[in-house]
Structure 1
Amino acid sequence: MEIITRQKEGRKLDTFVLILGIIVCVAGLYSFHLYYSSSLKLREKLEYIEENDRELKRTLIKGLIYRFNNNEGNETPFDFERFVANLFEKHYGGNAIVTESTGDGGIDIEHFQGEELYLGQVKCFDETNTVDYTPIAIIHSQMIKKGAKGGFIVTTSRFTENARKYAEGLDIELYDGKDLVNLWIEDVQLEVEDSIDIIPSET
C-alpha cells in the first residue's frame, strides 16, 4: 500500500514537472516572439532612418553641385574652392588659403596647420563624373616639391577604385560627396551648438 502511494506521488510529481516545463517553454516562446517582433520593428525603423539619412545626403550633394556648378547661378567652381577651404578651416583648424586660379600648379587650397602644410584640389563634378588618379598624382608631385605634410582631394562625386588604390600610402585623403556632406553637417551642428551656448538663460 505504501509502495502504491509512493508511485502515485511520484506520478503526481512527474505530472507537475511536466506541466511546469510546458509553462516555461510556452513563456519562453512567447518572450522570444515578443523579442523577435520588437527587434523586427526596431530593425525596420533603423532601416527607415538610414534610408532617409542617405536620401537627405544625396539631396545635399545635388544641391552643392547645382549651387557651384551651374552656369545660371552667381556662384562658380572657384566659389566652391572657398566653400571647401572655409569648411576645412572650421573643422580642422589652421589657415586654409585658396590659391590663384592660374599658375597654381594644380593646387586649389593650401591648408596650414601650425608648421605643417597640406595641399588640396577640389572637383565640383556631377555624381556620374568620377575622379580618377590624375589629381592625386598632381597633389603628390606638389607635396614633394613644396615639402608638404599631406594632401587631400575633395569632390562632390566619387573616386574610381584605381584612384583609391593609387592614393594608398601617399598621405593623401580622399573626400567624396558623402564625406563632404558629413563635414558640412558636422559644421552646421557645431554652429548650432555654439549659438545655443551664447544665448543668455532666463532668470
Structure 2
Amino acid sequence: MLQTFSSSNFHQICDQLAALDNDLSAIIKAHGYPPMWTRPNTFETLVHIILEQQVSLASALSALNKLRKKTIDLIPENILSLNDEELRACYVSRQKAVYIRALALALANRTLDLESFEKMADDEIRARLTALKGIGNWTTDIYLMFVLQRSDIFPIGDLAAVNALKRAKTLPKDITREALMEITVKWKPNRTVATMILWHYYLSSPLRTKLSRKFI
C-alpha cells in the first residue's frame, strides 16, 4: 500500500510527530504548522526541480519564468525545439539544458510516463527517474514529497533540511549521514511531514541566510 498524506490529515500528522519528538513540537509551538508544499505532476514541475539543483530557489524560479515566457506552454516538444543559445538566454546552464532535454525526450518518446508514477512504489519511481541523466536522489526525493505526497521521505541531500535538523537537535557539524538517517527513523512512516516542519523552521528562524538546496 502506498504511503501518502493529504491536506485532510497533514495537521494531524504534524501533531503525531510533535508528540513523538520534543524538538519538532518546539518548532510548531514557536512557528506554527508548516505549509504543505505541493506541486502538480507535470513536466514543468520536474524542470523546476532540476533548475533548483545547487542554486537558490529565487534563481531557479527566475529561469523557470523565462522558460515559461519563451515556450508559452512548457511541454517537452517546446523545450526540444529550443537551441542551446535560446536555453542560455533563459538562464539555463549548459549542464541543466542536457538534463532537461533528456527528460523531455523520455516523455516525448513515452519511455517515461508521469501519470503511471501515481500508482507506482517509491523505489520503482526512483529507479526510473535516476536512470535519466541529471536526475539523482535529491531531485527524486523532492518529486516524491511535493508531487506525489509520499509520506516517508527524508531528503538527506537537502542542505536546508539537514542544517535545520542539526540546529533543532544541537548536533555536531560533522555528524555522518548515517547518524542523521538513524535519527529520522523515529519519525517513520511520516518523515516527509517531519522534513516540512524542519524546512518551516529553517525559513522562520535566523538559521536562514538564503534558501539554497543542494543535492548530493
Give the TM-score normalised by structure 1.
0.28
More strand by share: 1
RCO (CA 8 Å, sep 6+): is it higher in 1 or 2?
2
Larger radius of gyration between Structure 1 and Structure 2:
1
The normalised TM-score by structure 2 is 0.27
